[in-house]
Amino acid sequence: MTQFRLETRADGLQRVVTDGLAAQNGRECALELMDGVTADNAERVLRYISDYLTASGQKIMAGETMRYGWSTLRFAQDNNDPALSIEELEEPFATASDTFRRGAAKAIAILRAQDETVRRNGLSTIAHHPHRSERAVICRRLSPTATWKVLVFDRIKARQAEQSGWFVGCGSSTHNHNDVAELASLHLVYLSERDPRIVPYLALPEDTRVVFEPSKVIVFAPGVQAGQVDNAALRA
């Protein structure tokens, strides 16, 4: 059973360190409290890592990565530090992102925004938080280069394998989305790069519809005909 303890470095920076993970992993893991990350936030991340390693029987080594919600974490080994420190993707919404920075503030903020979006829209179930590399099925009329006026997101089924369960349509009622020749498969990060507004909505449960218009976002709860404008989306 992994416990957690708070440490303060000589320079005043605090971090939360696992206590007991080394028994199975060989090393403890540490997350520094920077960029607004609280001790509670850090414990949630470290507990996820610990539970994952326990369940899988894997060990994590310096330089290796692990998915955490939308983003990816990496483990770094500092000189004279018995613990592995956590880093995260510097630009989690960019397709070309392959640089990491210290901490996990962005990854934590994305998970919180997704959970908050579910609650704010009155939905009781938080679904799987897809990783940026998971796929959506997308209408081919949504050109990779032209401007998108309307995006209609439907969570058509629960996640399986590398599929996020999201379908992205063009919004035209006359376009036949049952014709597979009209559809393509795309990593979610290509959508976030074009419109980062979508990411907080990606943990909404099955049968939810989200319509992105240039000036508003409309959420249709499962089984409900009338959509609700999500005003908080514009303030965010």
Contact positions vs Zn ion (CB under 5 A)? 139, 141, 170, 175
Nearest approach in angstroms of CB 150 to Zn ion is 10
Specify the residue, 141 or 194, whose C-beta has the smaller distance to Zn ion: 141
Nearest approach in angstroms of CB 211 to Zn ion is 13
Nearest approach in angstroms of CB 171 to Zn ion is 7
Specify the residue, 59 or 175, whose C-beta has the smaller distance to Zn ion: 175
Place of tokens 């009622």: 173
Nearest approach in angstroms of CB 153 to Zn ion is 13
Specify the residue, 127 or 139, whose C-beta has the smaller distance to Zn ion: 139
Specify the residue, 80 or 145, whose C-beta has the smaller distance to Zn ion: 145
Nearest approach in angstroms of CB 174 to Zn ion is 9
Within 13 Å of residue 209, how many CA atoms lie on the same side as its CB?
16
Specify the residue, 79 or 178, whose C-beta has the smaller distance to Zn ion: 178
Nearest approach in angstroms of CB 172 to Zn ion is 5
| Burial (CB count within 10 angstroms: exposed 0-12, middle 13-18, buried 19+), residue 45 | buried
Specify the residue, 184 or 229, whose C-beta has the smaller distance to Zn ion: 184
